[in-house]
Amino acid sequence: MAQPAPDPDAWRTQVRQWLATVLEPARAPQSAGETADLAVFHNLPPDEERLLLERCRAYQRARFDAGYQALTLPADKGGAGLTAAHVAVFAEEESAFEVPPSTELISVTVRLVAMAVSLFGTPEQRHDHARAFLRTDLLACQLFSEPGAGSDLAALRTRARQDGDEWVIDGQKVWTSGAQFADYGLLLARTDPDVVKQAGITAFLVPMDAPGVEVRPIRQMSGGASFNEVFLSGVRVPDRLRIGRPGQGWEVATTTLAFERTASGSGNRRKGGTFPDVLALARSLGRTSDPLVRQRLADLYVRAALRAATVDRVARTSASGGRPGPEASLTKLMASELLTRTGQVAAELMGARISADTGEPDTFAWTQHVLGAPGYRLAGGTDQIQRNLIGERVLKLPPEPRADRAPFSQLPGN
């Protein structure tokens, strides 16, 4: 019989004591002249990115070993089997310490791929891979998006054909975070073109060092190369690395994307500038007495508070169920909107200062936020897709007319 979950308040003391053994207390706000990291996406050279990954992995391993990883995942799937209330308690206590800044690859590994393998994998896959992903002994990227299948993910054209006990995969993926450092990729491929597009997709774990896998970095306009194109040419993957049944890939994908939207909307990794950063900027520029500026700051503060409250509500009502539902789209949409508005207010405050580095602290650094925020409107599904999901699955509005109900091979362009 499963043990009852510990009382969250009593558990809080245990969490705080453990965190104090592995982390330093949070530092005071940055001092004058210290430049803040306002980048939405990392813009680090490869060597620095590797060092950051190792810092993150050390903390994730300690957290796993102490039993604080995958808190709401059922115990029989490798998690702690706790509730959303415990997740909220852990996040509150963790915020008082200097947690190593995470990366997209760490988030994808722990909060997406590990969860997908835990929920859909065989016992052997959970033992060999899910545990290693949760502990970050292995790192995994997400091979979903394609040049012609971004928002309409079900239209993907990467193919996998079975050849004995192996699958042969050909295709191209794009916007893959951390592919150059990953050990595996969770890939979606079309295995049956003669059924409707959602029904003919299968998920696989692809070793990123397999023959036929080529990773090409994509240079971002903000200067970094966090994303990649991945080309797959005759890549052979054993059937034991198939996740779920043949044709179950769409269910794996939608579940994983729900985890991604939850992670994007509520993760503890700092992404770009925040309201306190904008407020500090307004004060440093002597603009806080301007009534229009005060109105913009108040609007930004209210939106930040509403997002935090929504994250908490969604977490408490859905995360304990194991699989996040369409409500995750709410937190993702609010997060991307808040990032965009934060950059807009900062840019309005600075005017021309944002276009050139004058040496003033925390001014030109905002370019990293402004250039990165648009990309966040695409991650985990575009804002338009989130609104459709909210309308159809949360508000129960009539769905949009669909003209792609025929088998995939009969659709135009195939």
Check whether residue 240 and residue 351 sit in a common domain.
no
- Among residues 135, 152, 178, the one where a domain terminates is 135
Structural domain includes residue 373 = yes
Query: Does residue 184 belong to any structural domain of this protein?
Result: yes
pLDDT bracket for residue 265 (50, 70, 90): very low
4-39 per-position pLDDT tens digit: 788 888 899 999 999 999 999 987 655 444 456 788
246 burial class (0-12, 13-18, 19+ CB within 10 angstroms)?
middle
Last residue of a domain, one of 224, 255, 286: 255
Q: Both 241 and 326 in a single domain?
A: no
CB 97 within 8 A of CB 25: yes
In a domain, 114, yes or no: yes
210 and 319 housed in the same domain: no
d(CA 319, CA 176): 26
Place 254 in a pLDDT band, splitting at 50, 70 and 90. Answer: confident
Q: Residue 204: which of 157, 163, 246 has the closest Cα?
A: 246
Query: Strand, helix or coil at 398?
Result: coil
Residues 277 and 389 in one domain: yes
Same domain, 226 and 287: no
Range of the domain at 210: 140-255
113 and 144 both lie in a single domain: no
Distance CA 228, CA 174 (A): 6
Q: What mean pLDDT is predicted for residues 261-282?
A: 71
- Tell me whether residue 340 is in a domain: yes
In a domain, 337, yes or no: yes
Q: What is the pTM of this model?
A: 0.84
- Specify whether 131 is located in the same domain as 151: no
Strand-strand pairing, 201-207 and 242-243: antiparallel
The answer to whether residue 375 is domain-embedded is yes
Q: Which of 49, 93, 146, 260 is catalytic?
A: 260
Q: Tell me the three state secondary structure of residue 134.
A: helix
Query: Within this chain, do residues 300 and 245 fall inside the same structural domain, yes or no?
Result: no
Phi-psi region at 413: left, alpha or beta (left = phi > 0; alpha = psi -120 to 50): left
pLDDT level of residue 382 (50, 70, 90 thresholds): confident
Specify whether 275 is located in the same domain as 382. Answer: yes
Q: What is the DSSP string of 47-100?
A: HHHHHHHHHHHHHHHHHHHTT-SSTTS-GGGTS----HHHHHHHHHHHTTB-PP
Query: Of the residues 220, 255, 290, which one is the last residue of a structural domain?
Result: 255
Assess if residue 404 is contained within a domain: no
Cβ atoms of 365 and 298 closer than 8 Å: no
| Residues 371, 286 share a domain | yes
CA angle in degrees (0–180, nearest 5) for 264-266-272: 65
* 260 catalytic per annotation: yes
- Look over the chain and give the mean of its residue pLDDT values, rounded to a whole number: 86
- Check whether 260 has a pLDDT greater than 70: no
Residues 101 and 185 in one domain: no
* Closest by CA position to 220, among listed 365, 41, 33: 41
Q: Which tens digits make up the pLDDT trace of 73-83?
A: 888 888 888 87
| 95, 26 Cβ separation under 8 angstroms | yes
- Work out how many domains the chain is built from and give that number: 3
Query: Could you tell me if residue 267 is left (phi over 0), alpha (psi between -120 and 50 degrees) or otherwise beta?
Result: beta
User: Is 18 a domain residue?
Assistant: no
Contact between residue 306 and residue 334 where contact means Cβ atoms under 8 Å apart: yes
Position 287 scores a pLDDT of: 95
Residues 275, 375, single domain; the answer is yes
